[in-house]
Amino acid sequence: MKIAVPRESAEGETRVALTPQIAGQLVADGHEVLVQSGAGVASSNTDEAYREAGATVVPDAATGYSQADMVLRVGKPSDEEVEMLRDGTILIGTLGTLAHPDLAARLAKRGVTAISMDAIPRITRAQSMDTLSSQATVGGYKAVLIAAERLPKFFPLLTTAAGTIRPARGIVMGAGVAGLMAIGTAKRLGAVVEATDVRPVVKEQVQSLGGTFIEVEMTPEEKAAAETAGGYATEMSDDYKRRQAALIAERVKDADFIITTALIPGRPAPRLVTDEMVASMKPGSVIVDMAAEMGGNVEGTEAGKEVVRHGVTIIGITNLPATMPGSATQMYAKNLQTLIKHLVGDGTTATIDFDDEITKGATITHGGKVVHEATAKALGIEPPAAPAPAAAAPAQPSTDADATASAESKDA
Ligand SMILES: NC(=O)c1ccc[n+]([C@@H]2O[C@H](COP(=O)([O-])OP(=O)(O)OC[C@H]3O[C@@H](n4cnc5c(N)ncnc54)[C@H](O)[C@@H]3O)[C@@H](O)[C@H]2O)c1
């Protein structure tokens, strides 16, 4: 296949879809890789490094898009880039089509097979393709480093000739991939860490990292309802939220820093820290709200901004992985390589096999239609009914009018 890697167009994006190393391995597998000049510069991957790896450096995005069987991106294509995509091209990126279903409609209209990394099913078999996890790992780590950098005091306990310094106390809200990484990182820096989550199963994981679990008492019914079959959190009852808020209100008074990561797929981020709670915190305390883009877990968070309320710094940073583009790109590229191998199998071109759980879950558009059930619902169109037969790509756009696979409704 001819695989194009354009420079990311979103403001502030520093990552690129492939590292020179993975580009070289794709070339060794028999593919031709076309990298837009300068695409890797912000992640310290030079044009020269891509050339040395065997990729071809092309001067602009249009040159890659005009030849590509497959386009690899980190984020969404711009409107201009959507127009550059050829009928039958496979586009892989973090497309966020549940939040931007209009993009899916435009990609379907262009005959593009769009695969979104945020729709890869969170199953064991797909772990090595899971960019939500790999990028959340980077995010959780960086959130703690940012908190440590802004906090006007040490994280660790220090006993010095100039006196004893008590360790910083932190709370991590939401102990998923990012939250667990944040707990581990804060512990390694010497902080005392507490964590909260609606999913009772994470208690042991928090404790295994040295954190203390702030446990909201739950009825057996609440325990059973707190987690979907896919392992995601659900929206809790008002009564649970009241009990959780009372417990959190007690704990935040002692916290020097809070990292919030709580998300509910397809819903606005749950509000966990009220303005009153922020006001109860010590001046100089720091909150990093990783849910800022989804409305924030903290009252007063402004997405993309750092604000000070009641003497507390609230950081609503929205693209944490872009603050560490080297490792974030390395992990993202590895996830993409595994997905490409999965699609290509023993062949030389990608096959969109709707009998395969991973391909089916992540494919958003195919054969001119939006085939991803949740995205179709977000568009207000009838979700597709019947699975499509396997279709080979590239340059073989499906002409089957019934090619409307019932893609798994993925809570991406
Ligand atoms: N491939 C795999 O097998 C795989 C890989 C990664 C994650 N997972 C699973 O996917 C699930 C989601 O992980 P994620 O990191 O993407 O989560 P996420 O980003 O969707 O949410 C972050 C955390 O916030 C928690 N949360 C939601 N509402 C909350 C509230 N009101 N109060 C406190 N906490 C709240 C969630 O339970 C979750 O732990 C987990 O079960 C995880 O173990 C599976």
Express each pLDDT in 372-406 by its tens digit: 999 999 999 986 765 555 444 443 333 333 333 33
Range of the domain at 382: 2-129+325-392
Per-residue buried b or exposed e for 23-62, using 16+ beta carbons within 10 Å of the residue's own CB: bbbbbeeebbbbbbeebbebbebebebbeebbbbbbeebe
**Average confidence score pLDDT of the chain:** 92
CA of 120 to the centre of ligand 1 (A): 14
Alpha carbons within 13 A on the beta-carbon side of 180:
14
* Residue 147 and residue 66 share a domain: no
The number of the ligand 1 atom at minimal distance from the alpha carbon of 236 is 31
Q: At what angle do helices 131-150 and 325-344 cross, to 10 degrees?
A: 170
Comparing 227-236, 248-257, 327-336, the range with the smallest average pLDDT is 227-236
CA of 298 to the centre of ligand 1 (A): 18
* Residue 174 and residue 236 share a domain: yes
43 tagged catalytic: no
* Counts for the chain of helices (H) and strands (E), in that order: 14, 19
The closest of 379, 375, 371, 333 to 352, measured between CA atoms, is 371
* Residue 314 and residue 264 share a domain: yes
Check pocket membership of 248 for ligand 1, CB cut-off 6 A: no
> In the predicted model, what is the mean pLDDT of residues 326-351?
96
pLDDT above 50: residue 339? yes
Number of neighbouring beta carbons within 10 Å of residue 179: 29
Q: Which residue out of 29, 102, 127, 239 is catalytically annotated? A: 127
**Domain edge (last residue) among 323, 352, 380:** 323
Q: Which residue out of 86, 122, 251, 271 is catalytically annotated? A: 122
* Residue 305 and residue 172 share a domain: yes
**Domain edge (last residue) among 301, 323, 345:** 323
pLDDT at position 300 is 96
pLDDT at position 387 is 53
DSSP helix/strand/coil, 105: helix
pLDDT at position 398 is 34
Residue 153 inside a domain? The answer is: yes
One-letter amino acid for residue 370 of the chain? V
pLDDT in tens, 294-305: 999 999 999 999
Share of the chain above pLDDT 70, in %: 93
The pTM of this model reads 0.91
The closest of 368, 365, 370 to 384, measured between CA atoms, is 370
> What are the tokens at 303?
């997405």
d(CA 141, CA 145): 7
Check pocket membership of 159 for ligand 1, CB cut-off 6 A: no
> What are the tokens at 15?
């990552």
pLDDT above 60: residue 163? yes
Check pocket membership of 126 for ligand 1, CB cut-off 6 A: yes
Comparing 88-92, 141-145, 199-203, the range with the smallest average pLDDT is 199-203
d(CA 119, CA 364): 8
One-letter amino acid for residue 231 of the chain? G
* Residue 276 and residue 177 share a domain: yes
The number of the ligand 1 atom at minimal distance from the alpha carbon of 136 is 15
Check pocket membership of 293 for ligand 1, CB cut-off 6 A: no
| Total count of domains within the chain | 2
On the 0-12 / 13-18 / 19+ scale of CB atoms within 10 A, 355 is: exposed
**Domain edge (last residue) among 273, 305, 323:** 323
pLDDT in tens, 257-308: 999 999 987 788 999 999 999 999 999 999 999 999 999 999 999 999 999 9
Check pocket membership of 196 for ligand 1, CB cut-off 6 A: yes
Check pocket membership of 216 for ligand 1, CB cut-off 6 A: no
Q: Which residue out of 69, 130, 289, 353 is catalytically annotated? A: 130
d(CA 299, CA 27): 49
The string of DSSP letters for 161-223 reads TTEEEPPPEEEEE--SHHHHHHHHHHHHTT-EEEEE-S-TTHHHHHHHTT-EE-PPP--HHHH
d(CA 232, CA 266): 11
pLDDT in tens, 199-218: 989 999 999 999 999 999 88
Comparing 45-49, 73-77, 199-203, 312-316, the range with the smallest average pLDDT is 199-203
> What are the tokens at 249?
């209100």
346 tagged catalytic: no
pLDDT above 80: residue 408? no
Check pocket membership of 319 for ligand 1, CB cut-off 6 A: no
133 tagged catalytic: yes
The number of the ligand 1 atom at minimal distance from the alpha carbon of 175 is 39
**By the 8 A CB rule, do 17 and 74 touch?**
yes
pLDDT at position 386 is 52
Helix (H) or strand (E) holding 149: helix 131-150
Q: Residue 260 is part of a domain; what is its CATH number?
A: 3.40.50.720
Pocket test for ligand 1, best of 118, 120, 122, 205 (most atoms within 8 A of CB): 122
> How far is residue 396 from each of residues 66, 90, 112, 353, 356, measured CA to CA in Å?
16, 10, 11, 14, 19
Residue 134 inside a domain? The answer is: no
* Residue 344 and residue 319 share a domain: no
* Residue 264 and residue 336 share a domain: no
232 tagged catalytic: yes
* Residue 166 and residue 88 share a domain: no
Pocket test for ligand 1, best of 123, 125, 194, 199 (most atoms within 8 A of CB): 199
Check residue 163 and give left, alpha or beta (phi > 0: left; psi -120 to 50: alpha).
Answer: left
* Residue 96 and residue 11 share a domain: yes
Name which residue sits closest to atom 41 of ligand 1, judged by CA: 231
Residue 402 inside a domain? The answer is: no
The number of the ligand 1 atom at minimal distance from the alpha carbon of 121 is 1
d(CA 61, CA 46): 16
CA of 202 to the centre of ligand 1 (A): 9
> What are the tokens at 49?
């490094």
Check residue 286 and give left, alpha or beta (phi > 0: left; psi -120 to 50: alpha).
Answer: beta
Check pocket membership of 199 for ligand 1, CB cut-off 6 A: yes
pLDDT at position 235 is 85
What's the CA dihedral at 238, 244, 245, 247 to 10 degrees? 150
* Residue 238 and residue 299 share a domain: yes
CA of 176 to the centre of ligand 1 (A): 4
Check pocket membership of 110 for ligand 1, CB cut-off 6 A: no
DSSP helix/strand/coil, 323: helix
47 tagged catalytic: no
pLDDT at position 396 is 36
> In the predicted model, what is the mean pLDDT of residues 148-164?
98
* Residue 292 and residue 157 share a domain: yes
On the 0-12 / 13-18 / 19+ scale of CB atoms within 10 A, 226 is: buried
> In the predicted model, what is the mean pLDDT of residues 116-129?
95
d(CA 233, CA 239): 16
